[in-house]
């Protein structure tokens, strides 16, 4: 591991390690579990947990700890000032209504995709995804179109660092297969991933561009029984591409910084 700079405060890193130990599939953790996930002693983990509890970011329930709503404050400023999700929302709503499915906007963050906007399906039973949800980029349609937009050097660095795992029997099992899928997404301009992340779920995504740069991906999540895979390219992809184009145009047309005077074109 590279030597940390002189200003680096190790305790801050450890505090965030503790907070990040809590995950959607593990929302309640004991001291021992946090210690193991954060690579620290049980005594250290206990001190961090109690301090974060006193500060209001965690709460204790017997031997377990869990995040409180105050923990949302850490990311709220980022989301509030991120104009792209706000610009995308009306287009996602229109797309969700037209397809009767859940639509989302994702960005690439390291080796993951992160949902920054999501509109649930108007149907009673829909795919449950929320803003802030993270998935490995390689296992999703959004991730593959975003990976396809990387430079060759960036993509090589990604392949050198990524670790694959099996989520279902259909999950990609080798880097060679993944390279092929990413190249297909790059060539076609869209990607479809069927039941690789979760049984019965199919994702379709296209990139959102701002000028010559890809800034995000628009996705629709489909139950596999809702639409045959062979019809997706004709029925779903054009609607996704139109939504992505409109989002990109709106995003490019907005000023980089808020203006004191409203300007209308």
Identify the band that residue 253 occupies on the pLDDT scale cut at 50, 70 and 90. Answer: low
What does the pLDDT read at residue 265? 30
d(Cα 238, Cα 186) in Å, to the nearest integer? Answer: 16
In a domain, 198, yes or no: yes
Q: Which of 25-39, 47-61, 227-241 has the weakest average pLDDT?
A: 227-241
Would the CA dihedral through 33, 37, 42, 44 be positive or negative?
A: negative
For residue 26, the domain's CATH number is 1.10.10.10
Final residue before a domain boundary, out of 49, 72, 95: 72
> 121: exposed, middle or buried (C-beta count within 10 Å: 0-12, 13-18, 19+)?
buried
- Please tell me the total count of domains within the chain: 2
What does the pLDDT read at residue 259? 31
Between 6 and 49, residue with greater pLDDT: 49
Does the model's pTM come out above 0.75? no
pLDDT tens-digit series, residues 254-263: 443 333 323 3
| Spatial CA neighbour of 211 closest among 258, 246, 248, 240 | 248
Same domain, 95 and 35: no
d(Cα 4, Cα 2) in Å, to the nearest integer? Answer: 6
Between 81 and 7, residue with greater pLDDT: 7
Mean pLDDT of 14-24: 92
Cβ–Cβ < 8 Å for 113, 137:
yes
Mean pLDDT of 72-99: 82
Compute and round to an integer the Cα radius of gyration of the chain.
21
Between 56 and 80, residue with greater pLDDT: 56
Final residue before a domain boundary, out of 72, 94, 109: 72
Same domain, 148 and 193: yes
Same domain, 50 and 160: no
What does the pLDDT read at residue 132? 82
Q: Which range of residues forms the domain containing residue 24? A: 10-72
Same domain, 48 and 148: no
| Spatial CA neighbour of 145 closest among 185, 114, 181 | 185
- HSE at residue 210, side-chain half, CA atoms within 13 A, is 15
Give the three-state DSSP class for 107: strand
CA angle 214, 194, 156 (to 5 degrees): 45
Q: Is the pLDDT of residue 227 over 50?
A: yes
Question: Six-digit token pair at 236?
Answer: 């779903």
Cβ–Cβ < 8 Å for 100, 121:
yes
For residue 129, the domain's CATH number is 3.30.450.40
The per-residue pLDDT of the chain, averaged, comes to: 85
What does the pLDDT read at residue 48? 97
DSSP letter for 100, please: T
In a domain, 259, yes or no: no
Q: Is the pLDDT of residue 251 over 90?
A: no
What does the pLDDT read at residue 202? 85
- Give the percent of the chain with pLDDT over 70: 88
Cβ–Cβ < 8 Å for 222, 201:
yes
Q: Is the pLDDT of residue 18 over 60?
A: yes
Q: What are phi and psi for residue 159, nearest 5 degrees? A: -60, -30
Identify the band that residue 183 occupies on the pLDDT scale cut at 50, 70 and 90. Answer: very high
d(Cα 37, Cα 26) in Å, to the nearest integer? Answer: 11
Mean pLDDT of 186-197: 88
Between 45 and 228, residue with greater pLDDT: 45
Cβ–Cβ < 8 Å for 145, 185:
yes
Same domain, 44 and 152: no
The DSSP H or E segment spanning 106 is strand 102-109
CA 247 to chain centre: 18
In a domain, 156, yes or no: yes
pLDDT tens-digit series, residues 108-139: 988 889 999 988 877 655 556 778 888 898 88
Same domain, 40 and 102: no
What does the pLDDT read at residue 146? 95
Cβ neighbours of residue 244 closer than 8 Å, sequence gap 6 or more: 206, 207, 208, 209, 217, 218
Same domain, 186 and 221: yes
In a domain, 261, yes or no: no
């Amino acid at each position: 591991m590279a030597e940390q700079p002189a200003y680096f405060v190790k305790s801050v890193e450890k505090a965030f390690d503790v907070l990040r130990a809590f995950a959607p599939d593990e929302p309640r953790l004991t001291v021992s579990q946090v210690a193991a996930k954060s690579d620290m002693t049980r005594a250290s983990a206990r001190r961090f947990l109690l301090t974060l509890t006193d500060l209001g970011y965690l709460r204790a329930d017997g031997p377990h700890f869990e995040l409180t709503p105050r923990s949302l404050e850490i990311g709220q400023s980022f989301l509030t000032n991120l104009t792209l999700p706000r610009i995308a929302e009306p287009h996602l709503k229109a797309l969700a209504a037209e397809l009767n499915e859940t639509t989302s906007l994702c960005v690439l963050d390291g080796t993951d995709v992160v949902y920054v906007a999501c509109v649930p399906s108007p149907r009673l039973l829909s795919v449950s995804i929320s803003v802030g949800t993270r998935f490995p980029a390689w296992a999703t349609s959004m991730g593959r179109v975003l990976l396809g937009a990387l430079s060759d050097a960036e993509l090589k660095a990604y392949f050198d660092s990524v670790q694959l795992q099996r989520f279902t029997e259909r999950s990609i099992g080798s880097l060679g297969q993944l390279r092929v899928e990413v190249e297909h997404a790059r060539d076609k301009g869209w990607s479809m991933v069927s039941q690789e992340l979760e049984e019965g779920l199919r994702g379709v995504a296209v990139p959102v561009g701002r000028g010559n740069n890809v800034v995000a991906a628009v996705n629709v999540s489909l139950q596999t029984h809702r639409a045959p895979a062979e019809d997706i390219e004709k029925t779903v992809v054009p609607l996704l591409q139109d939504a992505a184009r409109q989002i990109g145009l709106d995003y490019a047309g907005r000023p980089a910084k808020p203006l004191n005077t409203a300007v209308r074109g």
